[in-house]
Amino acid sequence: MNESAFVAALKALADTPAARGLEDDAAVLSVGGQQLVLTHDTLVEGVHVRADEDLADVAWKLVAVNLSDLAAKGARPLGVLVSHMLGDSDARFIEGLREILGEYDVALLGGDTVRAEGRRVWGCTAVGKATHTPAPDRRGARAGDAVFVTGTLGYAMLGLGDRASGSRADLAYRRPRPLVAEGIALAPHVTAMMDVSDGLLLDAWRLAHASGVELALDSAQVPVADPQKAGECMRWGDDYQLLFTAPADAALPIAAARVGTVTGGPTGLSLDGKIFPDAEGLGYRH
């Protein structure tokens, strides 16, 4: 099974409203009059991070990708639980964990350790509290909304070939910065929101299908790190920017580029008028 088929098979088990049909970045659980936001991500050596990656960078990225999911729901992080596969450079993992927890004022609540042969695997569960009710959903985009994205796409892609230089691209790949404050600021204004982890085009396709609308994007309006590689910048992923829809006349509290429009056309994605009937070739798929 690929990821899409596996998640589709799981949907019958996830019949609580908190699971949001397994179509969102995180679960949103109502507890005592408040909304808790929960998410989990896994990193695998040789798949999500290079086999010789500094484990301080691995720890940073592990927590960052989870905080990015919370950001997409406008949630304030409360804490994380981390699983670590013991091996070489464990102290560096702890150092990277210390750095990102301090940077984002997040508590370490617990986790698990294991020792085994083969590729190392790390997991993180992040817990946050929604700052706006309802927490933004992927399913709320409406015909007539505008489509926006924060930041510039493609720096992480360029960073893969600019290793350890300390450049903007290198840091975008090794030390992604989840947009927690930006997500909180946007939450009251958006109709749908998610983070860009697997590429703008694939994630836009997912948002469109979750909402049952068409997202019509204009590639000329998408901010990219290298205009000569615009297509790759929109597909590569690891950007951790925020993709969202909002009324076209919304007074947004942060800077974002308008990159398209939500239409009443067939559910899915179009780019410069070209319709993509499925997700093949749009971005990173497991």
Flag whether the pTM goes above 0.85: yes
Q: Render pLDDT for 64-90 as a digit per residue (tens, 0 to 9).
A: 999 999 999 999 999 999 999 999 999
Q: Answer yes or no: do 160 and 268 share one domain.
A: yes
Q: Answer yes or no: do 121 and 30 share one domain.
A: yes
Q: Answer yes or no: do 109 and 173 share one domain.
A: no
Q: Answer yes or no: do 165 and 98 share one domain.
A: no
Q: Render pLDDT for 148-179 as a digit per residue (tens, 0 to 9).
A: 999 999 999 999 888 778 899 999 999 999 99
The radius of gyration of the chain's CA atoms, rounded to the nearest angstrom, is: 18
d(CA 27, CA 39): 6
Q: Answer yes or no: do 194 and 223 share one domain.
A: yes
pLDDT of residue 195: 98
Looking at 78, 107, 130, the residue that finishes a domain is 130
pLDDT of residue 10: 86
Whether residue 255 is contained in a domain is answered as yes
Whether residue 285 is contained in a domain is answered as no
User: Both tokens of residue 66?
Assistant: 């989870």
Domain count along the chain: 2
Q: Answer yes or no: do 115 and 209 share one domain.
A: no
pLDDT of residue 285: 59
**Domain region containing 240:** 138-276
Strands (E), the chain: 27-31, 34-44, 75-85, 107-114, 121-130, 146-149, 192-196, 214-217, 241-246, 257-263, 268-271, 274-276
> What is the residue type of 125?
T
